């Protein structure tokens, strides 16, 4: 199944194409402006690199965040517009889950971390074999240390600085944390969406909603978007 994946939650516009879980193209473009035109151009460039046209795409995956609120809204709007106008099935994927997917670990606990844009405030979650464990975390990165109970892969942007903070807060974590630097990936969104779309798990394009995490809303969204097996 050919799926187009879009994620505009961060400092890049991430666009990718997959055939099932096989990555065909994965590209990142500077998000200098959060314009619809820019993102549409990025999508066209990516499809051309994959030697595809929009009519060849069988489904669309959209990164829901958390991250830059303005960026996410634009990306979700583009995804909804494409899905509705081209009559393609669409699936929302949280950026945290997509980051965890890029760790390529089926056994070890993975913790994607995304800056909330203020001080050391972050969004995070824990995943094992693609399944979310517990609620989304929203708060100071220092408080994340108390949740790390076993060896974990931290993944995200500027991730070494977060590891340093966690180890300073809780020195016993020094040998339990490995790190992987990664940005949001359109191809990861596409791969995850392909699996769900193949299972018939589509969403109404008009009701697709960005993942806007506050401590009061985190539990609501985890029930809606985590994978159930």
CB 126 within 8 A of CB 111: yes
Instruction: Write the DSSP string, 119-171.
Output: TTEEEEEEEETTEEEEEEEEEEHHHHGGG--S-EEEEETTHHHHHHHHHHH-G
Are 70 and 124 within one domain? no
What is the total count of domains within the chain? 2
DSSP character for 87? T
Cα dihedral 46/74/80/5 (nearest 10):
30
Instruction: Give me the domain span that covers residue 57.
Output: 2-94+184-225
Please give the full DSSP string across 31-70, using - where no structure is assigned. Answer: -SS--HHHHHHHHHHHHHHTT--GGG--EEEEE--SS-HH
Q: What is the pLDDT of residue 27?
A: 97
Cβ(55)–Cβ(177) below 8 Å: no
Question: What's the pLDDT score for residue 224?
Answer: 46
In this structure, the answer to whether residues 86 and 10 fall within a common structural domain is yes
Task: For helices 36-49 and 69-86, give the axis angle rounded to 10 degrees.
Answer: 60
21 and 83 share one domain? yes
Which helix (H) or strand (E) is 25 found in, with range? Answer: strand 22-30
pLDDT at 119: 83
On whether both 67 and 168 belong to a single domain, the answer is no
Instruction: Name the burial class of residue 135, with classes exposed (0-12), middle (13-18) and buried (19+) by CB atoms within 10 angstroms of its CB.
Output: middle
Q: For residue 53, what is the domain's CATH number?
A: 3.30.420.40
Element (DSSP H or E) covering residue 178: strand 177-181
Residues 175, 189, single domain; the answer is no
- Pair (26, 107) in one structural domain: no
Residue 70 has a pLDDT of 86
Q: pTM score, two decimals?
A: 0.91
Q: Domain check: are 141 and 210 in the same one? A: no
Rounded Cα distance, 79 and 24, in Å = 19
Per-residue model confidence (pLDDT) at position 32: 67
Is the domain of 177 the same as that of 215? no
137 in the same domain as 31 = no
Shared-domain flag, residues 174 and 208? no
In this structure, what DSSP letter does residue 201 have? -
User: For the segment 134-152, what is each residue's pLDDT rounded down to a tens digit?
Assistant: 999 999 999 999 999 999 9
User: Are residues 116 and 79 both part of a single domain?
Assistant: no
What letters, b where the CB count within 10 A reaches 16 and e where it falls short, cover 14-26?
A: bbbbbbeeebbbb
Name the strand (E) or helix (H) holding 16: strand 12-19
Q: Are residues 54 and 120 in the same domain?
A: no
Owner of token pair 């824990």? 126
Q: Mean pLDDT by 10-residue block, N- to C-terminus, for the chain (229 residues)? A: 96 95 96 78 97 97 92 92 94 97 93 91 95 94 93 96 95 94 97 96 91 57 46
Task: For residue 7, give Cα distances in angstroms to 11, 27, 217.
Answer: 10, 11, 21
């Amino acid at each position: 199944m050919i799926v187009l994946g879009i994620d505009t939650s961060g400092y890049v516009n991430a666009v990718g194409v997959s055939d099932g879980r096989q990555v065909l193209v994965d590209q990142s473009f500077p998000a200098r402006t959060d314009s619809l035109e820019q993102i549409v151009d990025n999508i066209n460039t990516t499809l051309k690199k994959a030697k595809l046209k929009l009519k060849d795409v069988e489904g669309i995956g959209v990164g829901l965040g958390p991250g830059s609120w303005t960026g996410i809204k634009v990306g979700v709007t583009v995804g909804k517009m494409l899905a509705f106008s081209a009559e393609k099935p669409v699936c929302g994927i949280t950026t945290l889950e997509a980051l965890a997917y890029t760790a390529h670990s089926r056994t070890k606990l993975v913790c994607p971390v995304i800056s909330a844009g203020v001080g050391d405030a972050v969004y995070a979650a824990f995943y094992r074999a693609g399944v979310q464990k517990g609620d989304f975390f929203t708060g100071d990165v220092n408080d994340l240390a108390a949740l790390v109970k076993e060896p974990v892969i931290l993944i995200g942007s500027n991730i070494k600085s977060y590891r340093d903070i966690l180890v300073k807060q809780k020195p016993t974590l020094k040998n339990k944390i490995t790190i992987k630097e990664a940005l949001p990936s359109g191809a990861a969104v596409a791969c995850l969406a392909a699996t769900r779309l193949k299972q018939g798990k589509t969403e109404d394009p008009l009701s697709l909603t960005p993942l806007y995490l506050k401590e009061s809303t985190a539990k609501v969204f985890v029930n809606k978007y985590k994978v159930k097996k």
